[in-house]
Structure 1
Amino acid sequence: MSPVFNFSAGPAVLPREVLLEVQGELLSWHGSGMSVMEMSHRGKEFMQIAAEAEEDLRAVMGIPANYKVLFLQGGATTQFAMVPMNLIRGHASIDFVDTGHWSKLAMKEARKFGVSTHVVASAEDRGYCYVPAQDGWQRDPQAAYLHYTSNETLGGVEFPFIPDSDGVPLVCDMSSNFLSRPTDVSRFGLIYGGAQKNIGPAGLTIVIVREDLLGQTVSGTPTMFDYKIQAEGDSMYNTPPTFAIYVAGLVFKWMQRQGGLKAIEQRNIEKAALLYETIDTSNGFYHCPVEKAYRSRMNVPFKLAEERLDEDFIKEARARNLLQLKGHRSTGGMRASIYNAMPLEGVKALTAFMQDFARHHG
């Protein structure tokens, strides 16, 4: 069978060697006679899996000792509520950077908690194709925290910098570029993200939170939504997403074998550069709407000059085993998600097809 390259925005491609590990251990993990899916989350076998997963994530990302790592459920969308529940801490407002779909949804949820959602800067004026320069942000020094989305999956806009928060806790929805490059965790109060892009199966959400921000939830916060309780229970206040944690742990080990985040970042730069070059040198046949300085390395949106060719493009791509290239329903066009596990060969196969398609239909 010819290789299939899956460009889905999520759930997304996983490293093939990790999937083979999962296959080999599916019926009996390390000779235990049990699948990970059958294990008690409080048994010694799974406790070992969970402890190793956290240890390896801390090593890969360089997470300082004064940060808690939580393996939760509910996706990043649930964090739109959990973050304000835990981090408002008596403040009257929250600062947001508005760069598109997901940052807008985070703001919408935060408004439900009786605080002002203050937009420090918005990219709406140019159709969400860039990140506003930080020197023009209108910050509230008394805000509970400053929130931004480091990579907008739909729009393909990525922050090329970590914002300065001037002492206000910095909160980041890092879902779609989590672990795609080195990150100075010490600059953040809290990082969160769904696992289904670069980390593992859907169903797992990772939260990395500084310890001093724990324990001051708003009145009425459900027990399950209290970061302090989750931290004290090692993310096991209830049954956690055990299989997803196990697969994520294997991915963290795979990342270490790849040379860590510096090496992974270089491969991501190479893949993105190849795809954007193909778009930019197509003499207008393809077009990326994102300004060059803010183009995502993970999610590459592009449109054909003639929309009537979209259906043919998808059909012919599928015939060459290039899958999940249709853009989000709200944006149209195409979108190629090239997360860590997408090999360079996959991007080369896509760009070769794009060049052939342009020659035949241009």
Structure 2
Amino acid sequence: MKTIYQMAQVAMDLEIARYLDLLKSTDGLASIKKSDLESSEISLLFAGGIGSDIPQDCDDVPQFLIAENNRKSAISFDVETAVCIGVYSSIRPHAKDLYQAAKQETNDFTTFDADNIKGKPYLLPVFQSTLKLSKSQLKKKVGSVSDNSISGPASIRLAEQLTDNLKPNDFQEENVLQRMEVTLEGIVRDLVGRVLFEEVVAHALVKEGVNFLREEEYSSISGAVYDFRADFVLPNPENPIAFIEVRKSSSRHASLYAKDKMFSAINWKGKHKNLIGVIVVEGEWTQTTLRTMASVFDYVVPLSKAAELAKILRSAQDGDESVLKWLIQFSITPSPKFSGNGLTSQ
């Protein structure tokens, strides 16, 4: 059986593809027709994005959703919610399948064999939930484990924990699945941060014919202080025209993220005179933080403007120098008056 994470990755890729297809057929959600919403999967995705529930007795779902979208036209489409609804619809049944498999393997949670646990690590989330332990608590009790691999000694310790500590109510299906929701939410949250938003940006760039490399496809962009990677470099790190960072934040962490990203921008733009700096934002960034970042980044744009951003970057790729907003003069050179005196080595 697949792990929950593996199932979630497959589901996330599928839902992103559906979302991107919807963007393409509706001109970026600007022109939505009933024919765009005929499939139940797309309807569910769109309903999630506009924050509406489809009535069970609805005779014309596409028409209902178009009316709801018009009624809520001042509210931005929530990409994250739209995509995640379909992901949860896929992984919740899989979590239930894992529970049933664990129940069968352990004779209704009465017999826990270490070799069996080692051989079927994908059942770990079920066992962790029956024990009511967090990841850190589980690690303290049995050692480092994952649903991809459980060592022999760790499987013995886990079998002992399950044998010695389980009470009848701990492995009731409803209770276990409810506790597993924390695991599901953590996996989806991770995939949203790592996959979803960058895929939307990549799609927009490809559509406009912009050449780029993603973070995993190159080593680093040279900087005035240090060499590091951005989420995207256009077209390559040897002769960069632009870099793009994609970040979701909460209002609580916005200032911290902004300081980190602004220094990276200064570092790269200080090294490459005409480099365009872009940050694509999603989430609850404060207006103060966004204004501050706009004094360093050439473009600070929401994810919903990815298509428009791609057009601008295509112009830069074609040689339009007017796209660049900020020139950053930043270099580090030795002081001619430094003597090196005053400190002695240990």
**Is TM > 0.5 for Structure 1 vs Structure 2?**
no
- Which has the larger helix fraction? 2
Q: Where on the TM-score scale, by shorter chain, does this alignment land: which range?
A: under 0.3
- Which has the larger strand fraction? 1
Give the number of the structure with larger relative contact order, counting CA–CA contacts within 8 Å between residues 6 or more apart.
1
Q: State TM-score, norm by structure 1.
A: 0.25
Q: State TM-score, norm by structure 2.
A: 0.26
